[in-house]
Amino acid sequence: MKFDIMRDRLLDGLNDVMKAVSSKTTIPILTGIKIDVSTNGMTLTGSDADITIQTSIPVEEDGEQLIHVTEPGSIVLQAKMFNEIVRKLPTNDVEIEVTDQFQTRIRSGKSDFHLIGLDAAEYPMLPEISPDRQITLPADLLKSVIRETVFAVSTSESRPVLTGVKWQIKEDGLVCVATDSHRLARRKVTLEHLPTEEANVVIPGKSLTELSKILSDSTTPVDIFMTNQQVLFKTSDVIFFSRLLEGNYPDTTRLIPEEYNTNVTINGKSLLQAIDRASLLAREDRNNVVRFSTLADNNIEISSNSPEIGKVEEEIQVVSLEGEELRISFSAKYMMDALKAIDGQEVVIQFTGAMRPFIIRSVHDDAILQLILPVRTY
Amino acid sequence: MKFDIMRDRLLDGLNDVMKAVSSKTTIPILTGIKIDVSTNGMTLTGSDADITIQTSIPVEEDGEQLIHVTEPGSIVLQAKMFNEIVRKLPTNDVEIEVTDQFQTRIRSGKSDFHLIGLDAAEYPMLPEISPDRQITLPADLLKSVIRETVFAVSTSESRPVLTGVKWQIKEDGLVCVATDSHRLARRKVTLEHLPTEEANVVIPGKSLTELSKILSDSTTPVDIFMTNQQVLFKTSDVIFFSRLLEGNYPDTTRLIPEEYNTNVTINGKSLLQAIDRASLLAREDRNNVVRFSTLADNNIEISSNSPEIGKVEEEIQVVSLEGEELRISFSAKYMMDALKAIDGQEVVIQFTGAMRPFIIRSVHDDAILQLILPVRTY
């Protein structure tokens, strides 16, 4: 293998695939990045066995020569070292040559590196995925869907399936649900083209978070393919694979109350900031619980009390307040997470009683639903 | 105590004094910030027993009312909590009132906090310092002096006095020296006004690093007062106290060679970058040693070799190369630290032999001298 490449483009590609490489892997070859060079261009692959990221750089783009291939081939180079070397090379021209026994020479300007590589034939193969259960979403919408749900996954490994987000495709579109059994986030997306088969998969929250980092904030389409073991997200230059979580995801539909006794419409930002302040004192007791009380004249009060530190009270004028009086306590963190996930100025909060789950949604849009279980404090 | 203050100014003041507050302190009252309010204005004090920072906010500045004092007084409030509360208050008007038994009420907009404070009378008194050993430096020069020396202090507590920078005032000005016994940094400063007494103190490196963070990059004068136990840095609105280190600082003058056998003048930035690249491989073996070799035709070579990872070689054309041929090995980190501390494009490196300390200085300026002990590798 021997080729010349523009350093900046190689760095961009490495930047993407490095997100999949973990120093904690127990599979030695996965500490490396696989480089495949053909007459069409270069492919870089990084993986931690759960996530695999592959990116391609063409030989030529918009009339500009990015790679000059002298001899095609493949090699695996130690990821962190290779990335740092490329980042620090003195010029934008990089020559990479594999000589005897996976010995790899990297030259740029007067710098001359020799790295000991690994056999690319030992690198795991990528799974093949059929297009039966394929959907397409714009990159920015996909990022929103992830942002609005992934925070609610469980961080505990006691029920592994809850560390993922359930993605279900049915005739009415895509429904994404995450819950850690104390709160739930649900996002519905209407699809223009439904796939030929229904799908029901649980994608690890960590995979979605990493995917989000490499997606652009544009409307560029992302093709999504699902199988029983893997999901694949494909953009024009990056392919992102993730394994799926096994196990039965709980039925969450019956968690959502059907009747509400207190309905509050409120400015989401004012509420978020008041809870943020109240949580300063709530946090000290480690349970991070704040109290929400309805008052007269369309006011509510957010309060918190920590016997050793002090207390805080704050009134907020709401847009509307209907139904029964209420005093309810809940996790400040869960409420802040939910409010941050909902776009739009005004939110509706619907309560069934001090001991029952309540929901938060935008006044304008039913696509996002956030549900929180209250905390018993008195 | 009762007063109103502009939140932004209170935050600026807290930002300075918070740098002295440590959550690791074993003295409970030092987890707090002392607030003193008089008819002249407000003083904030934070301390971790080693460093004390005090900042003042006047009642009025440039015709603008910053503080409205209803009743003077003092209180100590839990530093982290108070700082976070002030940061998150909803309006720029803050009312602080101490009522019964150090109970402190903080109000802004509709937010109403009650904090349990501590008795200000229990807060440690600040030492008094006489002006006999006072010097004055512009803030930006003081920052440079710190930056050019403090990195060379020892991080090991085996010889505590080496964790500080020695500041010596004699008839020829101020000399600052730091060494960890493997390398040494020395900075000389000519003083316009010498103090009436000579001084010889060792200032903890950590104190100088913290001081540097609150100094501006301007020529504003900083008054520096030294005693046997404390040093005090005074700007228009901040007073910074540090305890001094006890113990005899070693005589470092005889470390510096008097004769040199190889003199190299070289572009400092090119050398820094080449060593940075070579250190990528050197680092893997944990000793971080690179080799410097003189070549023919005004060239030198930087190289590094790690049997399991690979090797790197790089030639650099130097400005001049005089004296004996040389191959010498040294810590890449120490060399990079030294080169970063020296301003100016070209540096002179003077060697006495492969086993003797060598020095690095700017071609233009003798104020900064960096010395490094080589490493024996063959």
Helix, coil or strand: residue B356: coil
Question: What's the pLDDT band for A285 if we cut at 50, 70, 90?
Answer: low
Q: With pLDDT > 90 as the criterion, what percentage of chain A qualifies?
A: 84
Task: Show the tokens assigned to B373.
Answer: 């002990």
- CATH number assigned to the domain comprising residue B260: 3.70.10.10
Indicate yes or no: CB of B315 within 8 angstroms of CB of A110.
yes
Two tokens, residue B92: 């720029």
pLDDT exceeds cutoff 90 at B199: no
Q: Are residues A190 and A289 in the same domain?
A: no
Whether residues B202 and B296 share a domain: the answer is no
Min Cα distance B85 → chain A (Å) is: 7
Q: Does position A281 have pLDDT exceeding 60, yes or no?
A: yes
* Count of CB atoms situated within 10 Å of the CB of A214: 18
The answer to whether B90 contacts A315, with C-beta atoms less than 8 Å apart, is: no
What pTM does this model have? 0.88
CB contact under 8 A, A274 and B81: no
Q: What is the pLDDT of residue B299?
A: 96
CA dist B19 and B76 (Å) reads 16
Among partner residues B104, B111, B280, which is closest to A81 by beta-carbon distance?
B280
pLDDT at site A24: 87
**For position A237, what pLDDT does the model report?**
87
Would residue B378 count as lying in a domain?
A: no
On whether residue B377 sits in a domain, the answer given is no
Task: Based on the fold, state whether residues A247 and A285 are members of the same structural domain.
Answer: no
Asked whether residue A378 is assigned to any structural domain, the reply reads: no
Of the two residues B14 and B307, the one the predictor is more confident about is B14
- Judge whether B78 lies within some domain: yes
Q: Is residue B202 part of a domain?
A: yes
Residues A284, A327 share a domain: yes
Q: How many CB atoms lie within 10 A of CB A277?
A: 25
Residue type, B313: E
Average pLDDT over residues B310-332: 95
The nearest CA of chain A is from the CA of B20 a distance in Å of 22
Confidence label for B65 from pLDDT (cuts 50, 70 and 90)? very high
A81 in contact with B, Cβ within 8 Å:
yes
Of A78, A90, A273, the CB nearest to B309: A78
Number of Cβ atoms within 10 Å of the Cβ of A348: 19
Q: Do A49 and A157 reside in the same domain of the chain?
A: no
Mean pLDDT of B79-103: 95
Interface test with A, best of B31, B113, B114 (most A CBs within 10 A): B113
Residue B335 phi/psi, 5-degree rounding, is -65, -40
Q: Which of A250, A309, A251 is nearest to A281 (CA)?
A: A309
Residues of A whose CB is below 8 A from B315: 110
3 state SS of A146: helix
Interval B98-130: pLDDT, tens: 988 899 999 999 999 999 999 999 999 988 777
Report whether pLDDT(A302) > 60: yes
Q: What is the pLDDT of residue B16?
A: 93
| CA–CA min distance B133, chain A (Å) | 44
**Mean pLDDT, rounded, for A170-187:** 94
Question: Is A30 inside a domain boundary?
Answer: yes
In a domain, B316, yes or no: yes
Cβ distance A22 to A118 under 8 Å? no
Q: Which of A314, A317, A336 to mutate to test the interface with B (most CBs of B within 10 A)?
A: A314
Amino acid at B205: G
Q: ∠A210-A213-A219 over CA atoms, to 5°?
A: 125
Q: Is A309 in contact with B115 (Cβ distance < 8 A)? A: yes
Shortest distance between the Cα of B112 and any Cα of chain A, in A, equals 5
Please report the pLDDT score of residue A286 as a whole number.
60
Contact criterion met (CB < 8 Å) for B273 and A88: yes
Q: Please tell me the predicted confidence (pLDDT) of residue B364.
A: 85
How distant is the alpha carbon of residue A177 from its chain centre?
13
**Contact assignment for A312 to B110 by CB distance below 8 Å:** no
User: Which residue of chain B comes nearest to A77, CA vs CA?
Assistant: B309
CA-to-CA dists, residue A37 to A59, A71, A78, B15, B374, angstroms: 10, 8, 17, 53, 43
Q: What is the pLDDT of residue B133?
A: 80
Instruction: Identify which has the larger pLDDT, B376 or B110.
Output: B110
3-state class (DSSP) for residue B206:
helix
The whole-number pLDDT of residue B286 equals 61
Q: Is A276 on the interface with B (CB under 8 A)?
A: yes
Q: What is the pLDDT of residue A184?
A: 98
Same domain, A309 and A357: yes
B84 touching chain A per CB within 8 A: yes
Q: Does A312 lie at the interface with B, CB-CB under 8 angstroms?
A: yes
Residue after which a domain boundary falls, among A83, A105, A122: A122
Question: Which pLDDT belongs to residue B149?
Answer: 98
Query: pLDDT by residue (tens digit) across A146-175?
Result: 999 999 999 999 999 999 999 999 888 999
Which residues have a Cβ under 8 Å from the Cβ of B63 and sit 6 or more positions away?
none
Q: Strand, helix or coil at A162? A: helix
CA distance A335 to A321: 19
Average pLDDT over residues B230-247: 94
pLDDT above 90 for A12 = yes
Tens digit of pLDDT for each residue in B120-174? 999 999 887 777 788 999 999 999 999 999 999 999 999 999 999 999 998 889 9
* Minimum CA–CA partner of A86 in chain B: B277
Residue A315 domain flag:
yes
Tell me the chain B residues in contact with residue A7 when contact means C-beta distances shorter than 8 Å. none
Q: Are residues B112 and B138 in the same domain?
A: no
Arithmetic mean of pLDDT over chain B: 93
Contact state of B116 with A81 under an 8 Å Cβ cutoff: no
Our CA-based measurement puts residue B266 at a distance from the nearest CA of chain A, in whole angstroms, of 16
The stretch B78-99 carries a mean pLDDT of: 96
Nearest CA in chain A to B117: A309
Taking CA–CA distances from A314, the nearest residue in chain B reads B111
Contacts of A316 in chain B (CB under 8 A): 110
pLDDT in tens, A306-316: 888 899 999 99
Question: Chain B within 8 Å of A314 (Cβ-Cβ)?
Answer: yes
Closest CA of chain B from A161, distance in Å:
37
> Is the pLDDT at B246 greater than 80, yes or no?
yes
Q: Is the minimum CB–CB distance between B75 and chain A shorter than 8 Å?
A: no
**Amino acid identity, position A107:** R
Q: Which of B78, B89, B314 minimises the CB distance to A111?
A: B314
CB neighbourhood size of B343 (10 A): 15
Average of pLDDT values for A130-135?
Answer: 80
For residue A66, name the pLDDT band (cuts at 50, 70, 90): very high
Per-residue pLDDT for B75 more than 60? yes
Nearest by CB to B273, from A81, A90, A284: name it.
A90
Tell if the CB–CB gap between B273 and A312 is shorter than 8 Å. Answer: no
Could you say which of B234, B253, B272 is where a domain stops? B253
Shortest Cα distance, chain A CAs vs residue B105, angstroms: 9
Q: Is the dihedral of CA A241, A242, A246, A252 positive or negative?
A: negative
Residues B156 and B56 in one domain: no
pLDDT of residue B287: 75
pLDDT single digits (tens) A192-204:
888 778 889 999 9
Task: Write out the residue range of the structural domain in which residue B267 sits.
Answer: 256-372
Q: Do B280 and A314 touch (CB under 8 A)?
A: no
Tally of domains within chain B = 3
Same domain membership, residue B200 and residue B177 = yes
Predicted local confidence at residue A378, as pLDDT: 56
Q: What is the reported pLDDT for A260? A: 95
The minimal CB distance from B110 to the residues A78, A111, A315 is found for: A315
pLDDT band at A93 (very low <50, low <70, confident <90, very high): very high
Tens digits of residue pLDDT in A350-372: 999 999 999 999 998 889 999 99
- Contact at CB, B85 and A308, closer than 8 angstroms: no
> In terms of CA atoms, which chain B residue is nearest residue A276?
B88
Q: Please count the residue pairs, one from chain A and one from chain B, whose beta carbons lie less than 8 angstroms apart.
A: 79
Q: How much is the pLDDT for B284?
A: 61
Least confident piece of the model among A212-216, B15-19, B195-199, B211-215 = B195-199
Summarize the confidence of residues A53-82 as an average pLDDT: 96
CATH number, domain with residue A171: 3.10.150.10
Give, to the nearest 10 degrees, the angle between helix B139-149 and helix B205-214: 140
Question: What mean pLDDT do residues A226-234 have?
Answer: 90
Q: Which of residues 111-170 of A touch B (CB under 8 A)?
A: 111-116
**Interface probe with B: pick from A113, A267, A283, most Cβ of B within 10 Å:** A113
Q: Shortest CB distance from B314 goes to which of A112, A114, A310?
A: A112
Mean pLDDT, range B315-344, rounded to an integer: 94
Q: Are residues A199 and A266 in the same domain?
A: no
User: Does residue B256 have a pLDDT over 80?
Assistant: yes
- On the question of pLDDT at B224 being above 80, the answer is yes
Q: What are phi and psi of A334, to 5 degrees?
A: -60, -40
Report the residue from A113, A309, A314 with minimal CB separation from B312.
A113
Band of residue A136 on the pLDDT scale cut at 50, 70, 90: very high
Same domain, B269 and B245: no
Q: Is A85 on the interface with B (CB under 8 A)?
A: yes
At B247 the pLDDT is: 92
Domain boundary among B122, B145, B175: B122
Most A-contacting residue of B111, B275, B290, B336 (CB-CB within 10 A), to test interface = B111
B80 to chain A: nearest residue by CA?
A280
My answer on whether B110 and B175 are in the same domain is no
Q: Among B116, B310, B315, whose Cβ lies nearest the Cβ of A116? A: B310
pLDDT of residue B291: 95
Nearest CA in chain A to B317: A110
Distance CA A100, CA A284 (A): 62
